[in-house]
Amino acid sequence: MTGSQPKTFLVFTASYGQGHNRASEALAQTLQRLHPEGQVKIIDFLAEAYPRLNSVAQSLYLRSIKSTPHLYGQWYKQTDVLSSYPFLSRNAHRYLGREKMMEILATYRADAVICTFPFPAGLLSELKGMGKLNIPLATVITDYVLHRQWIQPNTDLYFVATDWLKETLIKHGVAPEKIHVTGIPVHEQYSVPYDQQQLRKAYGLDPELPTLLVMGGAYGNLPGIKKICRYLAYQDHPIQLLIICGKNEPLKKQLEEELQEASHPIRLFGYVTYGHELTAAADIVITKAGGLTVSESLAIGRPLIIYRPIPGQEKGNTQFLTSAGAAISAENWTQFQESIERLLASPETLKKMGEMAKRLGRPHAARDIAEMMIRMAHEQAMTHS
């Protein structure tokens, strides 16, 4: 094999929330665009290896973050602590899913592998340590805070969101030359400049009126989303609303009924593929603090209000955003109301937060990661030719 031949890339993801999948899709599309003669395959590894168990685990995950977020937070902490006992994770990765992973690797004969979820990264690292994998292995950390399950001894490259995250990885023993601060990959639509007023007109809104976007996540499970929408719909300030309910069709129908007499213009959406346009049309994004949701808002330069961030990675993401001045964290209903009042009453504060969000945004992360992986795959092929 020579370095100039078409390359095959595997991108391993997991469907716990949609953030890992969105990062994987952004990467895969960019890899295919930059290397059109090659092959790119996204694999939801846990769904492939353990479909029934994975389905149950997904259901428990969604239920826990909605109904018992404190328990999810405890689970997040405990699994982080378990990373301090490498023999446990090594044994898990040595036996769980190994046969399926070997089958996948044999089928696709990849030239490089990228992981946007910790478990396949750990399994591939173990295989690499056993001499059963000799291609570049990269991990994309999809949050602004570190969970130590991401750290694996045989990972060649880490792509991270911030300099702080790079320093944190170094403190945990990762070699500096392995870590690249690229940002979290988002779809290329988030790197395109948009005319905000034209977008508002396209969605039947007033081009001059302050616009708030409420994003419920892929499953419409933003805490208190119905209460938030009712409050904003009858807000004293002149505003207009964009509301994304995701795949939660009952939520969309309920809001359609409840907000018929709203004081302000409202546009309700289910699951959308044009979230970039709605984000660009807005002045403020009210949402969960998932790593991808945050990265998409920052890429377009929109400040955020995070309502009741759940313990775990969302709490960590929120702390990063608020300390940087790009978001407000509302831990309770009173704080949420105060945040809305403050931003609507102070366009200057809103403008400064938007500028900080834009400064933090990394809209070209997918391109930067893809270019590096393509180059690394070619170099690896040349070395072994």
Question: Mean pLDDT score of the chain, rounded to an integer?
Answer: 92
% of the chain at pLDDT higher than 90: 77
Mean pLDDT along residues 176-195: 97
pLDDT beyond 70 at 85: no
For the ranges 24-33, 83-92, 217-226, 263-272, the lowest mean pLDDT is seen at 83-92
Specify the residue for token string 């795959």. 377
8 A C-beta contact, residue 261 and residue 255: no
CB 43 within 8 A of CB 208: no
For residue 322, give both structure tokens. Answer: 């608020």
Sheet holding 304-307, edge to edge: 266-269, 240-244, 211-215, 284-287, 304-307, 327-330
Average pLDDT over residues 188-198: 95
Consecutive H or E run containing 167: helix 163-171
pLDDT digits (tens, 9 = 90+) for 289-330: 999 999 999 999 999 999 999 999 999 999 999 999 999 999
- Kindly report, residue by residue over 20-56, the tens digit of the pLDDT: 999 999 999 999 999 999 999 999 999 988 888 888 8
Residue whose C-alpha is closest to residue 181's, from 200, 196, 168: 168
Measured in degrees and rounded to the nearest 5, phi and psi for residue 139 equal: -125, 135
Residue type, 248: N
Which residues are CB-neighbours of 107 under 8 A, at least 6 positions away? Answer: none
Whether the pLDDT of residue 101 is over 80: the answer is yes
- Residues 301, 358: contact at Cβ < 8 Å? yes
Lowest mean pLDDT among 87-101, 126-140, 149-163, 215-229: 87-101
All domains of the chain, ordered by start, with CATH? 8-186+364-383 (3.40.50.2000), 194-360 (3.40.50.2000)
Question: Sorting pLDDT into bands at 50, 70 and 90, what band is 1?
Answer: very low
Question: What is the predicted pLDDT for the residue at 385?
Answer: 59
